[in-house]
Amino acid sequence: MHLTSLTLLLKTTTMLPKIDFEVLLDDSFERLCPSAKDVQSTNENLLSLINDYEEGEWRYAKFSRFVWDNIAEAALSFDERQKLATKALTQLEESAKNLRLSEDKGKGGELAEILLYGIMKYHYKAISVVPKIYYKQNTQDYVKGADSVHIVLNGDKTFSLWLGEAKFYKDIASAMSEAIISIKNALQKDKLEKESSIITGIQGLDKVIEDSAIVECIRMLLSPDTSIDRLKPLLHIPILLLYQCEITRNETLLTEEYKEKIKDAHKIQATSYFDKHVKELETTIHLYSQITFHLILFPVPDSKRIKDEFIDKAESYRK
């Protein structure tokens, strides 16, 4: 019974369509940027995503649809998502009510968090375990910590725990600096213990993951009685940097030349990021080499327009 449930769940996840954006790069940083000798660690990866163009303009509506199609993953509990599964508009309205618009006005942090939930679902085939926007809105104790919490089932009754970080800045250098600070904070022992207690405290964990053996293993590994050191090899940290890009801003057509420009830019940006990331974290995070990091770069042409349109739509759903 347990094996059947797990097989069913894995089939459902693998049958999900591919992410609705083009993947330009998806490999280890070491293979993509072999000349980056200053970055000695081998547990970093790079995922490069782009949106496309239509009639001379970047497809803002397509990007917005992806965000709103995935908002429930981050903003509603599992039971709420199930209850409202056939009520698309109500689901959007209830999700919008859980946004912290007054705190996040103009920053775009929640938008980036939602985008990360969608990327985790469709690209990494991950299961949303903790809808972070929902908990941040409903329980002040949950405000600190990762921006997303997912579990990936490997098919051999093993799993990995993904604690995500999401930033949306006009300037990518600022996004990088803030992300490193947040990740360093999130990987402290007390923060990892807090995340573990949130996951094990969820009443519906056995609904999200149907196989009881996997659930029991998760609860055991995340128990306060288990050393955090045992968790480190299972940890994956996806780091989404959504940023304004002049290359993307000045383009009107999805061409191979544009793609090559973005690939080159992302390799340079990844080198800059991981150089700082490794220097800051390798010597301060115990068992750093056992944690896997995934830098996700997503360029947009106009950060203000995207944030403003997101807030306008959110406020319209909240009325």
Full pLDDT tens readout for the chain, 319 residues: 344 444 444 444 556 778 889 999 999 999 999 887 667 667 999 999 999 999 999 999 999 999 999 999 999 988 898 899 899 999 999 999 999 876 665 567 899 999 999 999 999 999 988 888 887 766 544 446 789 999 998 877 788 999 999 999 999 999 999 999 999 999 999 999 988 888 887 766 777 787 888 888 888 988 989 999 999 999 999 999 999 999 999 999 999 999 999 999 999 999 999 999 999 999 999 999 999 999 999 999 999 999 999 999 999 998 7
pLDDT at site 19:
84
**Cα separation, 236 vs 312, whole angstroms:** 34
**3-class DSSP assignment, residue 16:** coil
pLDDT at site 25:
98
Find the helix packing angle between 60-69 and 109-122, rounded to 10°.
80
pLDDT at site 102:
63
pLDDT at site 199:
85
Q: List 125's β-bridge partners, or say none.
A: none
pLDDT at site 9:
46
Q: What is the Cα gyration radius of the chain?
A: 19
For the four alpha carbons of 166, 171, 176 and 177, in that order, the dihedral sign comes to negative
pLDDT at site 8:
43
- The region, left, alpha or beta by phi > 0 then psi within -120 to 50, assigned to residue 155 is left
pLDDT at site 103:
64
**3-class DSSP assignment, residue 63:** helix
pLDDT at site 130:
86
Listed in sequence order, the DSSP H helices in the chain are 2-14, 29-32, 60-69, 71-75, 78-83, 88-97, 101-104, 109-122, 132-138, 172-186, 189-201, 205-208, 212-221, 246-249, 256-281, 303-318
pLDDT, mean over the chain: 88
Spell out the residues 6+ positions from residue 153 whose beta carbon is closer than 8 angstroms to its own.
6, 9, 10, 13, 127, 159, 209, 214
**Cα separation, 249 vs 66, whole angstroms:** 20
Q: What is the pTM assigned to this prediction?
A: 0.91
Find the helix packing angle between 303-318 and 109-122, rounded to 10°.
90
pLDDT at site 2:
40
CA angle centred on 210, ends 160 and 158, rounded to 5°: 25
Place of tokens 């990518």: 172
**3-class DSSP assignment, residue 46:** strand
**Cα separation, 213 vs 2, whole angstroms:** 7
pLDDT at site 172:
95
